[in-house]
Amino acid sequence: MPQSLGIIVLNYNTFEETKKCIESIRRYTMIDYHIYIVDNSSPDGSGAQLGKHYENDKDVSVLCSKSNEGYSAGNNIGIKRAEIDGCRNIAIVNSDVELLNDAFSILVSSLDKDDSILMIGPSIIDNLGNEAQIPRKKLAFKTFVLDRHPFCDILRRGKSEDRYYSFSESGVTKFDGSVSGCCFLVKARDFKNIGYFDEKVFLYSEEDILAYKMSVISKKAAVNADAKVWHKANISTNKEGNAFVQFHRWTSVLYMLKNYAHISKRRQILIVLWNIVTWDALSIMSKSHRKMRKEFREKNWNILLRE
């Protein structure tokens, strides 16, 4: 039977966190839903553990990817399965997120009422109890430079009106851009129309790519601050180490600026050289950066010349 909401939870070595996420969904969500756990070929065996744990549960399906092709590809597996099952709306939820109220019912209601909204996120509470939702504008070259070290320390600190929106403490705020990727809902038909997540991005910059894709079909992003979730933040990526995070963050934003913001070739080359020089400097002190040095260089040049 079709569900009003398909909930995609991507698992990568986060068995306990994924279970807590599922528990919070079950505790609070009052509308019809089905949960699709996608295991991204976790080397710790947590995919098999989750399959066994939920094998008799009708509200959960565990899908196991044969290889880890990244955040975008993993989520697309769950999204396409939810579409086949007839889900009208899709929730993308990190395994380190827990609901604090019936957030999904609130967000689905907002999506159903306004056809101009494609993507909507909740208020996000961090580990210190602070608001962590970041409604953002499309990333352009200027804002990329100002957000990058050392300029982020020299020229400005914190959120900037050039990059981020403010939003109301209650109700819905609409804007051109995207919301934080740890937890958001989309309309299934519209997400299919924009080609799902771009699977050439392994990790990071997904939200910025979605902002550009949505603008092509004149769709809005929104925040409904009445919906509340807690984000424990980066549990899976923290296990991989700082070099892993920087590798994908820096190469993904280069790919995004080239293929979606359509920056000039000169600016693309500038970013590649900036990336490589910075990585070489970090390699002096960091063994993990040294190990990935060749791969990082090749990835940057491959994006510039091919992707």
**DSSP assignment of 156-172:** --S--TTTB----SSSE
Judgement on whether residues 115 and 219 belong to the same structural domain of the protein: yes
Instruction: Give the CATH number for residue 195.
Output: 3.90.550.10
Judgement on whether residues 225 and 258 belong to the same structural domain of the protein: no
How far, in Å, CA of 298 to CA of 93, rounded? 32
Judgement on whether residues 34 and 77 belong to the same structural domain of the protein: yes
From 230, 130, 118, select the one nearest 179 (Cα to Cα).
Answer: 118
Judgement on whether residues 21 and 61 belong to the same structural domain of the protein: yes
Could you tell me if residue 151 is inside a domain?
no
Question: Which among 214, 232, 250 is the end of a domain?
Answer: 232
- How many residues does the structure list for the chain? 307
Could you tell me if residue 169 is inside a domain?
yes
How far, in Å, CA of 101 to CA of 122, rounded? 10
Per residue in 93-113, pLDDT tens?
A: 999 999 999 999 999 999 999
Could you tell me if residue 170 is inside a domain?
yes
Specify the DSSP class assigned to residue 33: E
pLDDT of residue 158: 46
What is the pTM for the complete model shown? 0.92
Could you tell me if residue 156 is inside a domain?
no
pLDDT of residue 163: 85
Question: Which among 201, 232, 263 is the end of a domain?
Answer: 232
Judgement on whether residues 171 and 276 belong to the same structural domain of the protein: no
Judgement on whether residues 48 and 191 belong to the same structural domain of the protein: yes
Question: Which among 175, 203, 232 is the end of a domain?
Answer: 232
How far, in Å, CA of 53 to CA of 46, rounded? 10
Judgement on whether residues 184 and 246 belong to the same structural domain of the protein: no
Greatest Cα pair distance in the chain: 58
Judgement on whether residues 218 and 263 belong to the same structural domain of the protein: no
Tokens 């079709």 -> residue? 2
Q: Which residues of the chain have pLDDT under 70?
A: 1-3, 149-161, 234-241
Could you tell me if residue 154 is inside a domain?
no
Is residue 135 within 8 Å of residue 221, measured between CB atoms? yes
**How many domains does one find in the chain?**
2
Is residue 169 within 8 Å of residue 159, measured between CB atoms? no
Q: Which ranges constitute the DSSP H helices of 44-135?
A: 46-53, 71-84, 103-113
β-strands 33-39, 5-11: how paired?
Answer: parallel
How far, in Å, CA of 45 to CA of 219, rounded? 39
Judgement on whether residues 208 and 279 belong to the same structural domain of the protein: no
Structure tokens at 278: 């910075």
- Look up the domain containing 268 and give its range: 237-305
pLDDT of residue 12: 96
Judgement on whether residues 18 and 85 belong to the same structural domain of the protein: yes
3-state secondary structure at position 35: strand
Judgement on whether residues 180 and 276 belong to the same structural domain of the protein: no
Per residue in 194-234, pLDDT tens?
A: 999 999 999 999 999 999 999 999 999 999 999 999 999 76
Judgement on whether residues 200 and 117 belong to the same structural domain of the protein: yes
